[in-house]
Amino acid sequence: MRGFLYDLAILAVDEGKAIEAGDGGFWADTAGIMLITPFIAFLAILAVGKKLKHNGGEIAVAALAINLLWASVLFVMNMTGGVLTETTFEIARIGSDLVFELGWAVDGLSIMMYFLVNFVGLLVFIYAIGYMKGDVRVHWFFAAFSLFAGAMLILVGAPNLVQLIIGWEGVGLASYFLIGFYWDDLDNVKAGNKAFMTNKVADVGLILGAIILGVSIGTFDFGELSKLAAEHDEALGAVALVGGLLLFFGAMGKSAQFPLHIWLPDAMAGPTPVSALMHAATMVTAGIYLMARTFPLFQNFDDLAGDGRMWMVAIGTITLFAIGLLALVADDIKKVLAYSTVSQLGYMMTAVAAGGYTAGLFHLFTHAFFKALLFLGAGSVIHAVHSNNMSDMGGLRKYMPTTYWTFVVGSLALAGIIPLAGFWSKDEILATLGHEGFTLVMWIAIAGAFVTAFYMTRAVALTFHGEYKGHGEPHESPPIMTGPLVALAIPSMLFGFLNVPGLSLPGIGNFTEWLGVRVVAMGDYHPESVDWGLAAIGLAAALLGIALGWRLWGPDKDTQAARDRFNVPVLYPLLRRKYYIDDAALGIVGATTGPIARFIDWTNTYIFDGIVNAVGGMTKWLGGITYNFLDQLGVDGVFNGLSAAADSAGSSVRKLQTGRVQQYASGFVAGALILVVLFVFVI
């Protein structure tokens, strides 16, 4: 085992004052428990899950409850004094210098993600016990769900690029199982395949980028990578731009950046708890996490991978605005939230690319709570009305008050309404964009805030207001499902205050300080005070979106179709076709896979089958020669001839055996006489 301990290391400097950190003691040394507990749960559920009351759900919940204990203690320790340590185990060597290690990192970034994955994951797991009750293959669901959480923890705890890739691929595999969970429906199978294959295309970039960077500098370790970036190492500088952009391409797949976003809305085919965890704390946040973990590569415009930041900002900006518009025409409530997630991931990616390490990750942090809340709220509605479509809903606030009010809290937080969490994190992104000189991007982000509030008002109005348009009798979900809604609504309201500019909480500081506990100081911009003018503009855009949305969709009508008839010529038909991006992707896939499949079929039929058939014919011909000549006429002929001779001789001799004593005596005398003659006359 090799351990790195950065005791009281100088991590960042704020007005000349050093921020220090300790080693975390027992809790950091044993943090690896969090990485293995979900895998133990996975195996246990497969072994005995069917025999338990909740089909293994209790095992999954227990595993994350144990993990949350470790994550919470480390979170508090990092708030009060900082924790920075890394524990690794050497697994293998490539050559004499390149080492393959596994282990866990404990610093501001990983601790934040440990807490996020385990806190949100635990609530989603508890909710899933109620949601999945009576469903098919429940024990397999909880086994795969545990695998999903475990793979994400392997990823965020990775001290190096190799382990991150292991967790990255594990998350992809688990998501494939869960998106296509209802595999008896072909559409769900296609959705799982689409997610898997889209991510595999992007994963090529991640793997190539990791190889290029690791081989060039002689290590895959994130700490060493950050140090060399800070020192402007020449070997790293030679490959930083190419390696960094390849890593970004990998992140585009997992975090659904334009144009690789196409898999995420279809991923709603899986059970709603999967959607909640995927969009809040696992899977889609992995790409943002990768960019944050390798942020020193991109920190400066003038060297290393800084030249690629403009491309990253451009892609993030397109994602946050253009893809968010697609939520305006979606009828499936989960797809509305899915397009919203893509848009918010665009905000995060744009912020990080613009230099806002803290701003992007603070929005990731707050977004996890209110987006999990919204997805679980949508699941509660789906559980009650047995439909995903808002056209089958309406008036549900009367039947589902807890779901309604918590969904409203999540919607307002997502829209960025003060004082909820989303207001503070989105405002910091706007301030960062303005400070870094991305003024146009800042205004596009403000327009995106209007769009977000606009489509979330539509979702709330069509789902909860007016008269119920569906079938059956809707009802509030059981406490095991509404409890997690309330638990997630609290941080959605309050956690924005953890990083208010200019506010340092007594004894614990703020989110920026906690996140800055890393080997190399991030040095990103964090405003010293709230820019109330900019904040007011962002808030006004959100309020305008709510007001206009309510004006359009608030009034009830006989049918939801009549109620939801707002249309913008040219734009809305384009949105309904998803900018033709999905069509183009399917066309590319069809144009490539079709000819390839036909070529493989022709090759198989006329080349491989021809070779096999020719070899088979030759073998048959040689077999005939062997059988007819060597075996039948040769070996069998000899043995058959000997057998016939023995049989003939036996038949002749058998005639001498008559049983007559006189005949035997005569024979004996004749034989004796012959012997006498031979001895006398011959011998």
> Which one-letter amino acid corresponds to residue 504?
S
Least confident of 6-20, 243-257, 617-631: 6-20
Query: How many C-beta atoms surround the C-beta of residue 195 within 10 A?
Result: 27
Measured CA to CA, the distance from residue 334 to residue 322 in angstroms comes to 18
Answer yes or no: is pLDDT of 15 > 60.
no
And the tokens for 463? 């789902």
For the record, the structure tokens of 199 come out as 């991510």
Tally the residues of the chain. Answer: 683
In the prediction, which pLDDT does 17 show? 40
pLDDT band of residue 150 (cuts 50, 70, 90) is very high
Tokens of 565: 């008839």
Q: Identify the pLDDT of residue 647.
A: 76
φ, ψ of residue 332 to 5 degrees: the values are -70, 120
pLDDT tens figures, 60-84: 999 999 999 999 999 999 999 889 9
Using CA atoms, how far residue 393 sits from 102, 127, 452, 502, 619, in Å, is 49, 22, 21, 44, 69
Cis, bond preceding 479 (omega within 30 deg of 0): no
Q: Quote the tokens at residue 517.
A: 């506990």
CA distance 371 to 421: 11
CA-CA distance, 134 to 138, in Å (whole number)?
Answer: 8
Instruction: For 511-550, write each residue's pLDDT tens digit.
Output: 999 998 888 866 677 788 899 999 999 999 999 999 999 9
Q: Per-residue pLDDT averaged across 399-424, rounded?
A: 96
So what's the pLDDT on residue 163? Answer: 96
pLDDT at 682: 66
CA 406 to chain CA centroid, Å, is: 27
Alpha carbon distance 442, 434 (integer Å): 6
Average pLDDT, stretch 558-585?
91
Q: pTM here? A: 0.85
Mean pLDDT value of segment 131-138? 90
- Per the model's pLDDT, the better-predicted residue between 655 and 210 turns out to be 210
Q: Which of 556, 339, 324 is nearest to 462 (CA)?
A: 556
**HEC letters along 160-177:** EHHHHHHHHHHHHHHHHH
Contacts of residue 658, defined as CB under 8 A and 6 or more positions apart, other chains included, come to: none
632 contact partners, CB below 8 Å, separation of at least 6 = none
Angle between helices 222-230 and 234-254 (to 10 degrees): 130
Find the mean pLDDT for residues 342-353.
95
- The secondary structure element, H or E, covering residue 106 is strand 98-106
Query: Which DSSP string do the residues of 294-358 spell out, in sequence order?
Result: THHHHS-SSSTTGGGHHHHHHHHHHIIIIIGGGGGG--BHHHHHHHHHHHHHHHHHHHHHTT-HH
| Amino acid at residue number 385 | V
Q: In this model, does residue 19 exceed pLDDT 60?
A: no
Distance separating alpha carbons of residues 105 and 565, to the nearest angstrom: 52
- Which of helix, strand or coil describes residue 18? strand
Q: Name residue 103's beta-bridge partners.
A: 88
Q: What is the pLDDT of residue 13?
A: 37
Write the single-letter amino acid at 632: Q
The per-residue pLDDT for 506 is 86
Neighbour count for residue 95 (Cβ, 10 Å): 8
Rg of the chain over Cα atoms, rounded to whole angstroms, equals 36
- With a CB cutoff of 8 Å and minimum separation 6, the contacts of 293 are 109, 164, 222
Tell me which DSSP letter residue 478 carries.
Answer: P
Structure confidence at residue 683 as a pLDDT band (50, 70, 90): low
Neighbours of 249 (CB within 10 A): 21
Letter string b/e over residues 277-305, b meaning 16 or more CB atoms within 10 A of that residue's CB: bbbbbbbbbbbbbbbbbbbbbbbeeeebb
DSSP 184: T
Residue 320, both tokens: 């946050």
Grouping H, G, I as helix, E, B as strand and the rest as coil, residue 370 is: helix
Rounded to 5°, angle at Cα 533 from 545 and 301: 95
Strand, helix or coil for residue 183: coil
Mean pLDDT for 583-610 is 78
Alpha helices in 132-233 (DSSP H): 138-156, 161-179, 186-217, 222-230
Distance CA 538, CA 543 (A): 9
**Alpha carbons 286 and 368: distance in angstroms, whole number:** 12
SS3 of 107, please? coil
Residue 92 has pLDDT above 70, yes or no: yes
Q: Which residue has the tokens 């585009």?
A: 252
Cα angle for residues 298, 303, 305 (degrees, 5° grid): 35
What pLDDT does 288 receive? 95
pLDDT digits 0-9 by tens, 368-405: 999 999 999 999 999 999 999 999 999 999 999 999 99
- Say yes or no to pLDDT of 670 above 90: no
What pLDDT is stored for residue 655 in this prediction?
65
Two tokens, residue 656: 């001498």
Residue closest to 78 by CA, chosen among 451, 498, 413, 449: 498
pLDDT of residue 607: 85
- Is the pLDDT higher at 611 or at 161? 161
Tokens found for residue 120: 């949100």
